[in-house]
Amino acid sequence: QKEVEQNSGPLSVPEGAIASLNCTYSDRGSQSFFWYRQYSGKSPELIMFIYSNGDKEDGRFTAQLNKASQYVSLLIRDSQPSDSATYLCAVSPPGQNFVFGPGTRLSVLP
Partner 1 sequence: ETGVTQTPRHLVMGMTNKKSLKCEQHLGHNAMYWYKQSAKKPLELMFVYSLEERVENNSVPSRFSPECPNSSHLFLHLHTLQPEDSALYLCASSQVLDTGYGYTFGSGTRLTVV
Cα 19 to Cα 36, 42, 62, 106: the distances in Å are 15, 21, 10, 8
Binding mask 41-60 for partner 1 (x = CB under 8 A): xxxxxx--x-x---------
Nearer to partner 1, 74 or 88 (CB): 88
Name the residue type at position 78. Answer: D
Count of Cβ atoms closer than 10 Å to residue 79 Cβ: 21
1 lies in the site for partner 1, by CB under 8 A: no
Q: What is the DSSP letter of 26?
A: S
Applying CB under 8 A, which part among 21-29, 32-40, 53-61, 70-78 lies near partner 1? 32-40
Indicate which single residue of 65, 79, 101, 106 sits in contact with partner 1 (rule: CB under 8 A).
101
32 forms beta bridges with 92
Q: Which residues lie across from 43 on neighbouring strands?
A: none
Binding site for partner 1 (CB under 8 A): 4, 8, 31-32, 34, 36, 41-46, 49, 51, 88, 92, 97-98, 100-103
